[in-house]
Amino acid sequence: MLKINNLHISVDGSDILRGLDLEIKPGEVHAIMGPNGAGKSTLAYTLAGKDGYDVTQGDVDFEGENLFALTPEERAAKGVFLAFQYPVEIPGVTMNQFLKTALNAQRKARGEEPLDALALLKRIKAKQKELGVSDEILKRPVNVGYSGGEKKRAEVLQMAMLEPKFAVLDETDSGLDIDALKIVAQGVNNLRRADRSFLVITHYQRLLDYIVPDYVHVLADGRIVRSGGADLAQTLEAEGYANIA
């Protein structure tokens, strides 16, 4: 599904990713762990297509296409989703309106008929209950005045609505207490499917108790320095990042 080859990324002239290789097959959940400053969020933003992340070497193949030839919105329509570490506030646009606009924009890009208001509403209702997102939150402007937990739940709600093929979760656990973490993790687990893959970026092993990955990778100094199964996360938690690499 996704193949990252020798990826080098520079931000403001400094090299952040330095030769990252990673292959994710359909249905797999990969976790990337690593110390602060290792390049975890850089990887997330690069995959989603944010400006300012310059590809100096390497490429990313997503389902047979060069990911870097696509705009952020084209990537989204083809099934790439980023759950933001810091979801952005957009005053003046309600979450409801945002969800509808995004979903129908993606459908249009894929040549599908737009969903009418009723079908959209049904879809939102089904997902919001599962994630404990209140009607009141959907009526508020996007992420404005949401608590940390509400923002992360709203990210997972967006993911559930948009049904991506490949989702990157960038530190979705940060700022969550244990109850919120369980809800968010459950929301993600409900979306696990044989044809959907996840890249879970986290600093702590805690999230991986609830979203159990198939593979764990350690990112340090811009490349993957160690890979293993789910048990690698436990090892890291016990021993820290200092002895890796």
Partner 1 sequence: MRTLPEVNEILIHRTCGQNGGKIEDVLFTAAESRLNIVLEKEAELTLIERHCSEKEQEKVVNIGVLLKEGAKLHHYRFQEDDITAKHRTSLAVSLAENAFYEAITLTKGAVDSQCDVEADLLGEQASCVFKEIKLLSGQQKGASSFVVRHDSPDCTSSLECRSVLNDTALGIFDGITRVNKEADGTKASQLSKAVLLSDGTEMRAKPELQIYTDDVACAHGATTGQLDEEQLFYLRARGIPEADARAILIEAFLCEVVDKIVDESVKNEIKVKIGSVL
Rounded to whole angstroms, the Cα distance separating 97 from 178 reads 30
| Beta carbon nearer to partner 1, 119 or 144 | 144
Rounded to whole angstroms, the Cα distance separating 49 from 1 reads 17
Q: Which stretch binds partner 1 (CB under 8 A): 12-20, 103-111, 207-215, 225-233?
A: 103-111
233 with 205: CB under 8 angstroms? yes
| Beta carbon nearer to partner 1, 109 or 119 | 109
| Beta carbon nearer to partner 1, 143 or 197 | 143
Question: Given candidates 55, 105, 120, 220, which one binds partner 1 under the rule CB under 8 A?
Answer: 105
Interface map 8-27 toward partner 1 (x if CB under 8 A) = --------------------
Rounded to whole angstroms, the Cα distance separating 213 from 210 reads 9
CB of 133 to partner 1, least distance (A): 16
Rounded to whole angstroms, the Cα distance separating 187 from 98 reads 20
Rounded to whole angstroms, the Cα distance separating 100 from 237 reads 40
Q: Which residues contact 47 (CB under 8 A, 6 or more apart)?
A: 60, 67, 75, 80, 82, 168, 199
| Beta carbon nearer to partner 1, 23 or 89 | 89
Question: Given candidates 46, 96, 106, 202, which one binds partner 1 under the rule CB under 8 A?
Answer: 106
CB of 233 to partner 1, least distance (A): 27
| Beta carbon nearer to partner 1, 43 or 232 | 43
Looking at the DSSP bridge assignments, the partners of residue 17 are 9
Q: Is 98 a residue that touches partner 1 (CB under 8 A)?
A: yes
CB of 141 to partner 1, least distance (A): 8
Question: Given candidates 16, 76, 124, 218, which one binds partner 1 under the rule CB under 8 A?
Answer: 76
| Beta carbon nearer to partner 1, 49 or 213 | 49
Q: Is 35 a residue that touches partner 1 (CB under 8 A)?
A: no
DSSP 193: B
- Identify the helix (H) or strand (E) that includes residue 120: helix 117-131
Which tokens go with 204?
Answer: 């702590």
Rounded to whole angstroms, the Cα distance separating 210 from 200 reads 12
| Beta carbon nearer to partner 1, 27 or 72 | 72
211 with 200: CB under 8 angstroms? yes
Interface map 42-71 toward partner 1 (x if CB under 8 A) = ------xxxx-------------------x
CA nearest to 235, candidates 208, 199, 211, 210: 208
For partner 1, the binding residues (CB under 8 A) are 48-51, 71-73, 75-77, 82, 84, 87-93, 98, 101-103, 105-106, 109, 141, 158, 162
